Amino acid sequence: MREELYKDPVFSMAMEQFNEVADFLELNDEIRERCRWPKRWITVSVPVRMDDGTTKVFHGHRVQHHLTRGPVKGGLRYHPEVKLGEITALAIWMTWKCALMDLPFGGGKGGIACDPSAMSTGELERLTRRFTMEMIPFIGPNIDVMAPDMGTNEQTMAWMTDTYSTHNGHLEPSIVTGKPLTLQGSPGRTKATGHGVAFLASSALEQTGGSTQGASAIVQGFGNVGSHTAHTLDTYGVAIKGISDVHGAIWNDKQIHLAKLRKHLSKEGTVAGFAEAETIDPQEMLHQKCDILAPCAMDRAIHKDNAAKLQCRILAEGANGPTTPEADRILNERGDVHIIPDVLCNAGGVTTSYFEWVQNLQRYRWTEREVLTKLETMLQRTQQQVRRYAERHKLTQRTAAQALGVCNVAKAKATRGMFP
Ligand code: NAD
C-alpha cells in the first residue's frame, strides 16, 4: 500500500540507493523503516482564478520526510510533470543532504503540477498565494521552510513571505529562503547552488590530477543552477563549450561567450539560436569530450543508454537525481569518471539557505563574501570527509555521501528514542 502511494521511477531510484546504504550500515529493520518513510505528506487542491475569468484547480504536494533533526527544508517546484513519488524521492535526498552537511534540518520537497511558462504573472501570484494559504497549518520557521526550485524563483518566495506574514500580522522572513534582498534574502543565495557545483567540480578536477586553467565544461540546463555553474567555472578559467536548455543545445569548440549569451537569453528566452555557436543535438552534446559535465536540469539525464558514451572526467551533479542506478553501475565499472553526487554537489543551495534562515532569525546580515567563504569552507570539509570515507570503506562517492547522511539521521532517531 505505502509503495503504491509513492510509485514512481525516481522514488524507486531513491529506495534502491537507500537499501544499498542501509545494508552497508547494517541498520536494523526498525531504524530502517523509521528512516525510510516520510513523516507527513500533504496534498492540496488549489483553485485559481485565471486571467480569462475561469477557475482552474491545480494540485500541489508537500512531503515532509522527517523532522528529527530540525524543521523540514526543501524547494518548491512548478512543473507539469510534478508527481507525489518524485517529490517524495526529492524530499528523501534532501534529508541525506542536510544531514551530510550537518545542517539542523530534515528534508522536504513540494511541487505544483502546472506549466509556469504558460501562465501570466498574475496567475502565478494567485497560485502561489493560495497554495501558501492551504499550507499555513503545516509550515512555519520551526516546522517547514521552503525555497525555490525548478520553475520557481525569488518572486515566488516574496509572494509566499507576504502571504504568510499578512496572515501572522507581522513580517516573518524566516518562513522561506531564496528571497529577494529587499525582503531579507541572503547575499549570495541566488548563485550559491551553481557556485558550489563549480567550486566542487574544480577542486575534484585538481584532486584527480587536472587543472581548471584550459579545462572545458558542458552544462545541461541554463536556469538558476546551470547558469551560475557556467558563470563560476568561466571565472575559474574553464572554457564552457556546450550549453542546453529545454528548447535546444549550442556548441562552440573554443568557448561560449557567456555575457553575450545572457543578452541573447534575455531577448529570446532560450539559449537556442545563439549566433556565436553551432546548434547541436542535446543528447549528442552530452557525449562530447570535456573535463567537467554538469547536468543541471532534470532527473535521469544520465541513463543506461548514454552512460557508456560520456567522455568527461568529472560528472558534477547540479540537478537532483540526474544519474540512474543503471548508469551509476556502468560509470563505476568504467572507473574513469569521478562522480560528485547530487547530495554533495548541489548542497551549496541548502547550505546558503541555512545561512539565510540563521540571518533572518538573528535579524542580522552577512556580506556576500562572508556567505561564500563560509559556504566554500563547509563544502570543502564535506568533500574531503566523503572522499576519506569512500576510500576507507571502498565505497563509491554516492554511497559514501549518502551513508554519512543516513548515519547522522539514524543516530539522531536512535538517540531521541520513540514517544511511547
Ligand atoms: P530552473 O527552472 O531555474 O532551470 C531549469 C533549466 O533546465 C532551464 O534552463 C530549463 O530550460 C532546463 N531544462 C528543463 N528540461 C530540460 C531538458 N529536458 N534538457 C535540457 N534542459 C532542460 O531550475 P533550477 O533551480 O536551476 O534547478 C535545476 C535542477 O537543480 C533541479 O533538479 C533542481 O531540483 C536542482 N537544484 C536546484 C537548486 C536551487 O537552488 N535552485 C538547489 C539544489 C538542486
- Taking only the tens place, the pLDDT of each residue in 360-375 is 999 999 999 999 999 9
- The reply to whether 148 falls in a domain is yes
The model's pTM is 0.96
76 and 99: one domain? yes
- The reply to whether 378 falls in a domain is no
We report the CATH number of the domain holding residue 107 as 3.40.50.10860
Q: Which three cell numbers stand for residue 119?
A: 501562465
Does the beta carbon of 295 sit less than 6 angstroms from any atom of ligand 1?
no
Closest ligand 1 atom to residue 249 Cα is 20
- The reply to whether 66 falls in a domain is yes
Does the beta carbon of 111 sit less than 6 angstroms from any atom of ligand 1?
no
Ligand 1 centroid–CA 90 distance in Å is 13
289 and 331: one domain? yes
Candidate of 98, 222, 225, 351 to mutate for ligand 1, largest count of ligand atoms within 8 Å of Cβ? 225
Candidate of 296, 300, 353 to mutate for ligand 1, largest count of ligand atoms within 8 Å of Cβ? 296
Q: Quote the strand ranges of 154-296, DSSP E.
A: 216-220, 239-245, 248-251, 278-280, 292-295
Of 159, 183, 207, which one is at a domain's C-terminal end? 183
Answer whether 287's CB lies under 8 Å from 308's CB: no
138 and 266: one domain? no
Catalytic residue from among 73, 83, 97, 109? 109
Q: Which three cell numbers stand for residue 380?
A: 570543502
269 and 315: one domain? yes
Is-catalytic flag, 83?
Answer: no
| Three-point CA angle 9, 2, 68, nearest 5° | 95
- Among protein residues, the one with the nearest Cα to ligand 1's atom 35 is 319
* Adjacency order of strands within the sheet including 40-49: 40-49, 55-64, 106-113, 72-79, 144-148
228 and 332: one domain? yes
- The reply to whether 353 falls in a domain is no
> Which residue type does 276 have?
E
We report the CATH number of the domain holding residue 338 as 3.40.50.720
- The reply to whether 28 falls in a domain is no
Ligand 1 centroid–CA 225 distance in Å is 6
- The reply to whether 310 falls in a domain is yes
Of 130, 150, 183, which one is at a domain's C-terminal end? 183
Give the pLDDT score at 1. 56
List the domain range (segments joined by +) for residue 101.
37-183
Ligand 1 centroid–CA 374 distance in Å is 25
Band of pLDDT at residue 231, cut at 50, 70 and 90? very high
The whole-number average pLDDT for the span 251-257 is 98
Band of pLDDT at residue 243, cut at 50, 70 and 90? very high
How many independent structural domains does the chain possess? 2
Q: Is 2 a residue whose pLDDT tops 80?
A: no
The whole-number average pLDDT for the span 140-145 is 98
179 and 263: one domain? no
Does the beta carbon of 296 sit less than 6 angstroms from any atom of ligand 1?
yes
Q: Is 359 a residue whose pLDDT tops 70?
A: yes
Closest ligand 1 atom to residue 346 Cα is 43
Does the beta carbon of 188 sit less than 6 angstroms from any atom of ligand 1?
no
Of 183, 212, 247, which one is at a domain's C-terminal end? 183
What is the percentage of the chain residues whose pLDDT exceeds 70?
99
Does the beta carbon of 38 sit less than 6 angstroms from any atom of ligand 1?
no
Lowest-pLDDT range of 1-15, 156-170, 252-266, 295-309:
1-15
* Residues written for the chain: 420
341 and 198: one domain? yes
The whole-number average pLDDT for the span 257-263 is 98
